[in-house]
Structure 1
Amino acid sequence: MEDSMILDVEGIKKTILYGGTGAKPKFVTGTKVTFHFRTQLCNDERTVIDDSKKAGMPMEMVIGNMFKLDVWETLLMSMHIGEVAEFWCDVIHTGLYPIVAKSLRRIAVGKDPVDWHIHTCGMANMFAYHSLGYDDLDELQKEPQPLYFVMELLKVQQPSEYDRESWALNDEERLKAVPVLHGQGNKLFKQGRYEDATLKYKEAIICIKNVQSKEKAWEAPWLKLEKMANTLTLNYCQCLLRMEEYYEVIEHTSDIINQHPGTMKAFYMRGKAHMEVWDETEARNDFMRVLDLDPGMKKTIKKELAVLKMRMEVKNEEDRLKYKGMFAKMASEQDSLELENPDQEIPEQTCQVQDMENPEEAPAEERANSMQKTAEMTLASDPEQTTTAQSSSDNVIPEQPTTQDLTAEQTTIEETAPEQFDTNHTFVVQSDSKEASPSPEPMCLEQEAQDTESSDHMTPGN
């Protein structure tokens, strides 16, 4: 069913897509309406901007509560329960839609509809309206245009038929609710119910911010509401301190300090939060700023600085012990790794270096085998030296040399030139000890000549 009509309001055209049931509801100030909506651009594709059904929750609005997009009240008051209608609205009615849509999107994802907890400096807040955080809304805000609204009216409740929440109150009712919520939050704080207290403080702040948004910034009414909001925010931060939400405290108090740098309590609470997160410099700066603003806090600040000093000393000692244990553990793991992998290159290189530095400490059996092979090669080339070689090889024990067969010059050779010593040279020197020259170098040359001569008499394959 489609029925097009022009309402008695300029710039609105209505098309009924599905008729409702029953008599037309009575709409008075305070009437609560629940509905679904879909917003579309007036282009060929009818691009959908927002859809409450896709968001998974219907919209609720109170008639006469100064809703920013007041044209919606006009649209809904023309409908029956269960009716679905499409409304074309000219640009004169849609200019504020991007701002309303931002709040609705925040609600849909479980966030507050107002940005009271967004922490920016005063200058940034003045220019925050230039971006809504959504590209499509920013574009629509720069170039307002007509929109289609498809509405489905679900339920209508009279003021006496529901419990009114703070968002459903008008400005006068909101301001009356603030001290009540404030008192409830204080009571819960004293009972140690900090999380419940934060909800009361938060609700009161939202009430104030909703009213404050309609006042001109930095004028007397706005500043009065700002002071009330700051008091509630500091109470909110007091709860967060007890809940150990220190970084959130730093954010909220910094926001207050940026806009109102003379707020002593904000510096004090931020200093305590900085101390809890081990930021000694910032904590000390905040505490000293408290003294500048209120010298009467001297005793309290002196105590806080003493606590800060003690805590930092304990923290530094804990860090020292932690890093000490860390390095000890790393060293232990490295030692274990070397023991578990003895065939790695590093241990082999270490052994080679040790052998070069201490040749006398090499295994006796290995040296004896090498010398025995040399003896066998020499005897094969000259059988006449068999007796001499056998007697000499019996005496070659590096750890226990025979002093009677060694001259002082030979002992000197072993001590002064360990790196140039070879097992073949050792054998010849010991076998020809009686004919050795006092100079070690000629002996080595003589042995090389003998080895060359012996090798000439050897026949390959024998």
Structure 2
Amino acid sequence: MSTVAVGNDCNIQKRILHAGKGDLPSYLDGTKVYFHYQTRCCNDDRTVMDDTHKQNKPMELYIGKKFKFEVWETCIKSMKLHEVASFTVHPVLLGAYPMVAKSLRDIYSGTHKGHSHCCGMTLKEEGLGYEDLDKLMKEPQPLEFIIEVLTVEPAGEFRKEIWAMDENEKIALLPELREEGNALYKAGDYKNAAAKYADAIGILEQLLLTEKPGEEEWVSWDRQKIPFLLNFSQCHLLLGNYYAVIEHTSDVIKKDPGNVKALFRRARAHVAVWNPDEAEADLNEALKLDSSLDKVVKKELSTLEQKRKEKDLEDKQMYQGKIFK
């Protein structure tokens, strides 16, 4: 099969291994592409360095989002759907690959620790933790990438990942996340409902970082966190994640000291982890704020008192007959 340069870049030589389907996609900015890739050394053995097939998880790439290794975007933009092609790339374009490969390997192995702040000289001296990548940094050489395009989703025809959205897109997503979370909650899928609420909370925390604390816009975003935090806490209460409930309801109470829902849910979580004094204080405060809760709160207080008696009895039986020095 013949080899051709990709675009006008003679540093990338392409060879089609399996023809794709249809016309070449437009690959407008924002297009989402799923693809498998295999990285090989250009030696006699064509040694495989990386292969997403082994991880059973393809790569995702958003066109125009300046992925750290631009070579892949350049290659993919020359490919049709379901095409498989080999790209031999000159070392001049491979400077970023060792760090990108390290990050991806760490993610797949569960050891990824976020961004590295080491300079290039330090990395060359201390290494990346992978012998083949360390060698590639010290002795740059051509690499072959065998890429298979699995799906191409045009911009606007799918929901972007949150990290890929701009501020306006994130704001528009908030009501959708609320509705989706509520629907999942009603269906009894508390885990996935909590995930939707958590996404919304994450967006609002990102928006808070763009504003000055105490300013009108900052206060508005901060207040919008409250219903999501309450819903998130209710899901985790039902899932039995009581310390998460205490943490997030406490956050609500700091913002809104008179929030009865937060007090009541925190009280139930305190009972579950056996913080009886804290639970009683929250229940009494909730009753003080909303007298309509009289029956519900008194029932909870009665249950708490009964549990206290049972706990005292258990303790007496446990230590009965023991000699303390």
With normalisation by structure 2, the TM-score equals 0.60
Equivalent position SS for 2:149: strand
Name 2:235's counterpart in structure 1: 239
* 8 Å contact kept, 1:33–1:153: no
Equivalent position SS for 2:255: coil
Matches of 2:87 and 2:310 in 1, distance apart? 66
Q: Which residue, 263, 266, 273 being the options, matches 1:270?
A: 266
Matches of 1:282 and 1:170 in 2, distance apart? 41
Name 1:176's counterpart in structure 2: 172
Amino acid in the other structure paired with 2:273: V
Matches of 2:98 and 2:13 in 1, distance apart? 22
Cα distance change, pair 280–98 in 1 and its aligned pair in 2 (3 A) = farther
Matches of 1:222 and 1:40 in 2, distance apart? 50
Amino acid in the other structure paired with 1:250: I
Q: How does 1:158-173 map to 2 (within 5 A)?
A: 158-159=153-154, 164-165=158-159, 167=161, 170-171=165-166, 172-173=168-169
Q: Give ranges in structure 2 of 5+ residues lacking alignment.
A: 124-136
Equivalent position SS for 1:194: coil
Matches of 2:248 and 2:289 in 1, distance apart? 25
Name 1:134's counterpart in structure 2: 112
Name 2:27's counterpart in structure 1: 27
Q: Give ranges in structure 1 of 5+ residues lacking alignment.
A: 110-132, 329-462
Greater RCO structure (CA 8 Å; 6+ sep)? 2
Name 1:118's counterpart in structure 2: none
Q: How does 1:304-383 map to 2 (within 5 A)?
A: 306-307=301-302, 309-320=304-315, 323=318
* 8 Å contact kept, 2:204–2:225: no
Matches of 1:178 and 1:222 in 2, distance apart? 16
Q: How does 1:89-128 map to 2 (within 5 A)?
A: 89=93, 97=100, 101=104, 105=107
Q: Deviations over 1:161-187 (max 9, x none)?
A: x97345388444443332133134335
Cα distance change, pair 17–37 in 1 and its aligned pair in 2 (3 A) = same
Q: How does 1:9-24 map to 2 (within 5 A)?
A: 13-16=11-14, 19-22=17-20, 24=24
* 8 Å contact kept, 2:103–2:112: no
Percentage of matched positions with identical amino acids: 21
Amino acid in the other structure paired with 1:14: I
Cα distance change, pair 276–101 in 1 and its aligned pair in 2 (3 A) = same
Q: Deviations over 1:1-46 (max 9, x none)?
A: 795858668xx943436545245333234533220245799xxxx9
Equivalent position SS for 1:33: strand
Q: How does 1:422-433 map to 2 (within 5 A)?
A: none
With normalisation by structure 1, the TM-score equals 0.45
Cα distance change, pair 306–267 in 1 and its aligned pair in 2 (3 A) = closer
Amino acid in the other structure paired with 1:85: F
Name 1:249's counterpart in structure 2: 245
How many angstroms does 1:261 deviate by? 3.4
Name 2:150's counterpart in structure 1: 155
Matches of 1:86 and 1:68 in 2, distance apart? 19
Tell me, yes or no, if structure 1 residue 83 matches structure 2 residue 85.
Answer: yes
* 8 Å contact kept, 1:35–1:151: no
How many angstroms does 1:97 deviate by? 4.9
How many angstroms does 1:236 deviate by? 1.9
Matches of 1:263 and 1:253 in 2, distance apart? 10
RMSD over aligned CA atoms reads 5.1
Cα distance change, pair 247–49 in 1 and its aligned pair in 2 (3 A) = farther
Amino acid in the other structure paired with 2:32: K
Cα distance change, pair 211–241 in 1 and its aligned pair in 2 (3 A) = closer
How many angstroms does 1:58 deviate by? 0.9
Cα distance change, pair 83–176 in 1 and its aligned pair in 2 (3 A) = same
Cα distance change, pair 216–321 in 1 and its aligned pair in 2 (3 A) = closer
Name 2:276's counterpart in structure 1: 280
Matches of 2:317 and 2:2 in 1, distance apart? 76
* 8 Å contact kept, 1:39–1:51: yes
For the pair shown, which has the larger CA radius of gyration, 1 or 2?
A: 1
